[in-house]
Amino acid sequence: MKATGSALRAALAALVLLGAVPALMFLLLIMAGDLHLHAGLIGIAISAAAALLLAVLLSRDVAALTALMRAQRSDQGDPIEPIALFTPGLRRLGHEVVRLMRTERRRRAQLERIAAADRSLLDRLPDPLFLLDSSRFVVWCNPSAEAAFGSETASLLRHPLLRAALAEAESSALPVRASLSLASPLARDLDAVVVKVGAPDDPVRLFLWLADRSRERGLERMRADFVANASHELRTPLASLIGFIDTLRGPAADDPEAQHRFLGIMAEQAARMQAVIGDLLSLSRIEMTEHQPPETILFLPPVLERVAAAMEPMLTGNQSRLLTRIAEDLPRVTADAEQLAQLFSNLLDNAIKYGGKGGTIQLDARLVTDDSRFESPGIMVSVADDGPGIARQHLPRLTERFYRVDKGRSRAVGGTGLGLAIVKHVVARHRGRLLIDSIEGEGTTFSVWLPLARGQSIKPIVQSNETMLPQSQMKVARKG
């Protein structure tokens, strides 16, 4: 209705503008007597009719152009069709307007695509990212930020170091960096970078990018602890050796009995240093190859039997006995025989050392096909003792270098504190799993799961502890 009214007004205005001048001229000619009244009236009528036709065409074309532009403003994505205009000058204008609109729509679509790509990049960024305004209100954050901080965001933004960095970034054109340590909800070390975005006159917008450095810092701490521990492990026996050398040179120079005793202790301390250095070298060799899985296809039973046989003197010394239950036709694994021998030797050595005098140790090897803890069939080798067991709180830390439940006992039995660290790294290199179960007062079981070599057929011989092989198919050895 409104559109019709304004079109009518435009048509009337065009009619007046186009028709008024010729009509006035005809009138003046009639009044001056230069034109006959009838001829003048006919002229006025013809020019009025022509003006009316032109006004109608003009107002229709203008209305069509206006409608086209209005449709473009509310852009519903409809195709921009060329419009038919009748007024000669406007036809060209209409043509140009349609081209301009199509170009503008293409550009806008392109900008939207770029913006969507930018947004999806920020959304997929693994590091948390926040966009903040001048009052530190989170205008936007990516899913990583939501996942990492969620409801903790407010307390994160209150961290004094972060607040200082945000304040500094507000008045700086350069990125501002800060390193923070969060204590809760979980201990984290973060690197923060704050960048002010937008033109200087725009409202303040700050991008806050956070990178979790907990792992790197943890590794740095571990490395520093390791160096400190390793030097401590060597320094103690070395100090004792130096002390005895001084005693042998001085007060005990003429005391053969004391000399004999001291040399015995010195030999023990030297052996201890040798054991620590040997384990440190093994550990570093294993770590160097850890990213490179072994390639040899190995039949495990002979390796286990060799390791078990080598334990005999130690078993005898400790009056312990070893029972082995190794399924005979186990499928092969891809393994490094020497490293696996060291692994099982460390586990058996611990079981004898910590299992107590006269204990029984059970070495089992079986095929595991249907255990949901493992992604594929594999071989499970377990070493179980009936010793005093290990308190629950120690279990997660047992494989740390130099971690011992009872330092004195470990040293007394010749432990270096590196045996289980070696076990962990060998298992990792073999893409296996290490499981530790212990019940205080009942004993400890270390189980190593190793994936089968590719292409090994699975003949489920022994599937679980409950469904053991019939005795005839099993090799039962009793030692010690």
Which CB sits closer to ligand ADP, 94 or 359? 359
State in angstroms the smallest separation of the CB of 295 from ligand ADP: 28
CA distance 128 to 166: 16
Residues 385-414: x/- map of binding to ligand ADP (CB under 6 A)? x-x--x-------x----xxxx---x----
The rounded distance, in Å, linking the Cα atoms of 441 and 189 is 40
Six token digits for residue 70: 């209005």
* Angstrom distance (rounded) from CA 49 to CA 46: 5
End-to-end CA distance of the chain: 109
Give Cα separations from 143 to 129, 185, 345 (angstroms). 9, 19, 48
Task: Tell me which residues in 314-373 interact with ligand ADP (CB under 6 A).
Answer: 346, 350-351, 354-355
State which residue, 7 or 395, has the beta carbon closest to ligand ADP. 395
Token pair recorded at residue 404: 């011992």
**Structure tokens, 285:** 């060799």
The tokens describing 218, both together, are 């943890």
The least CB distance from residue 283 to ligand ADP, in Å, is 10
Distance CA 446, CA 426 (A): 14
Q: In the complex with ligand ADP, which residue's Cβ is closer, 142 or 318?
A: 318
The least CB distance from residue 235 to ligand ADP, in Å, is 17
Closer CB to ligand ADP, 320 or 410, in the complex:
410
Structure-block tokens of residue 147: 């996942």
Which of the residues 183 through 212 are near ligand ADP (CB under 6 A)?
Answer: none
Binding mask 416-435 for ligand ADP (x = CB under 6 A): xxxxxx--------------
Q: Judged by CB under 6 A, how many residues of this single chain contact ligand ADP?
A: 22
Shortest Cβ 364–ligand ADP spacing (Å):
15
Nearer to ligand ADP, 61 or 386 (CB): 386
| Minimum separation from the CB atom of position 360 to ligand ADP (A) | 12
**Cα(442)–Cα(389) distance, integer angstroms:** 6
Nearer to ligand ADP, 169 or 422 (CB): 422
Instruction: For CA atoms 100, 104, 110, 111, give the dihedral sign.
Output: positive
Query: 334 vs 444, which CB is nearer to ligand ADP?
Result: 444
Length reported for the chain: 480
In the complex, the smallest distance separating the C-beta of residue 445 from ligand ADP, rounded to whole angstroms, is: 9
Binding region for ligand ADP (CB under 6 A): 346, 350-351, 354-355, 385, 387, 390, 398, 403-406, 410, 415-421, 444
